Structure formats: structure tokens, C-alpha cells
Structure 1
Amino acid sequence: MKTKILVIDDNKLTLKIICFVLEKNDFEIIIAEDGIEAIEKFDEVKPDLVIADILLPFKSGLEVAHHIKTKSPETPVVVLSALGEEESTVEKAFEFKVDDFISKPFSPNELLLRVKRLLR
């Protein structure tokens, strides 16, 4: 059975890049383009890992991460942010118990390595 990854981003190009690299490595991808859809899909699918942009329509990636970590603390969550390495953003992400933080633009190979590490 394939490992399921929920990818949440409202940027279609970013979604394509992430999905391409993960599908090429035999992961099953579930996509959500806003925070509300992300929570619904998480509750429905129960993915093995979640990758979420911080800036999303309706609910932020941090709100989504909080929902996930409250319901399923063992599910790894990686947040992506184009906000840069602003300390407050990174600190807030880790306060929400996310497992990793990646700044945009990012290397698809680095993302893949971090995903594989978290799934071990």
C-alpha cells in the first residue's frame, strides 16, 4: 500500500512541482487548495504525512497544522512559507508542533529528503 501524503497549497505551480517529485517516488498524493478543504480531506483520508503552505485561503496552514496535531499528534506535518525565515513565523509553526519548516523557494530534492526522513 502506498504512503499517502496530503499536499495543501493554493499555488498551482507549487502543487505541480511537489506532486511531480512525490509521485515519481511512489507516494500517493491527495491535494487540497485551501484550509477548510485540507481539514476535510485530512479527516476523511488520514494521510501518513502532510505538507502545507502557511498562507492559505479560509484557514491558515498553521490552523490546519493545529487541527492535525490535535487529532493525530503522530502525523508528521511540514509547513512551507514564502514569508522567509522570519523568526516569529518559524517559532509560531513549531509552537503548533509542526515537524519541519521549509522556506520557499525550495529544492524539490530537499523536500523529498525531509519527507523520507519524517516517514522513517
Structure 2
Amino acid sequence: MSKKKIVLAEDNTTLSLLLKFRLEKDGYELFMATDGKEAVELIENQIPDLILTDVMMPFISGLEVISHVRNKLELKTPIIVFSSAGQEEMVLKAFNLGANDFMGKPFSPNELVIRVKRLLNM
């Protein structure tokens, strides 16, 4: 069975590397983007099984990434969005655009892995 591919769009390098390490340990193949523009390119080239994106990123926001995936690419790929606490409006926008799940920062990498497994094993 081939590894499930995940695109991780996160501009915080420390968090990115932590999540990459944790998810690869569970057998996922990760593709890293440090901004929304890179994320869109990776999504178009890799057609991942899951997308993890921060809301606030350079160039293209996480919300624009969701919109691109759902409206331009017309993909049903599950999307988990991260955002710093206190951004309820962003969370609602993310869900309205087609996000499947949301996690407020800071969050537990172990909880993320559980949510990833739940979305990929539906």
C-alpha cells in the first residue's frame, strides 16, 4: 500500500518540522510549503490525500488555498486548518470555503495525528 500524501502549509518552521517528524513516524509522506503559493503548487503537482494549512501565511492565505482547492481544482481532498486562538471569523470562513476540520494553536501533535487518521480512513 502506498503512503498517504499530505501537504503541510505552515510558515512556522519549528512547528512544521515537529509535525513532519510526527506524521512521517506514522507512515505518511509529507510535502512542506512555507507559504500559500508553495502550497498551491504542491497541491497541484502532488494531488495529496490530505491538506494541512495555517490560515495566516505569506503570499496566499490558508483561506485562499482552501478556495483554490475547492473551486478551481474542484478537489474533495480533506483539509485541516490551523489558526491562532481568537480568530472565530477566520474559522467560520474556512468552514464556509470547505475546510473539514479546525485546530486552534497551540495544539497537540498527537491530537492532530488522530484527526488526520480519522479523515483519511473515512
TM-score of the aligned structures, taking structure 1 as reference length: 0.95
Alignment of 1:32-71 (within 5 A): 32-70=33-71, 71=73
Task: Tell me which residue corresponds to 1:6.
Answer: 7
Task: Tell me which residue corresponds to 1:107.
Answer: 108
> Root-mean-square deviation (CA), in Å?
1.0
User: Cα deviation per residue 1:73-118 (whole Å; 9 max; x = unaligned)?
Assistant: 3200000011x14321211110111000000000011000000000
Runs in 1 of length 4+ with deviation above 6 angstroms? none
Cα distance in 2 for partners of 1:81, 1:73 equals 22
Pairing partner for 2:81 from 70, 79, 82:
79
TM-score of the aligned structures, taking structure 2 as reference length: 0.94
Task: Tell me which residue corresponds to 1:96.
Answer: 97
Report the secondary structure of 1:41's partner residue. helix
The 1:104–1:39 alpha-carbon spacing in structure 2 relative to 1, beyond 3 Å, is same
What is the aligned residue count?
119
Q: 1:57 is matched by which residue type in structure 2?
A: P
* Structure 2 spans left out of the alignment, 5+ residues: none
Cα distance in 1 for partners of 2:34, 2:25 equals 21
User: Cα deviation per residue 1:1-47 (whole Å; 9 max; x = unaligned)?
Assistant: 10000000111011011101100000000001111111111101100
Cα distance in 2 for partners of 1:23, 1:17 equals 10
* Structure 1 spans left out of the alignment, 5+ residues: none
Q: Is the 8 A contact 2:55 2:90 kept in 1?
A: no
Report the secondary structure of 1:58's partner residue. coil
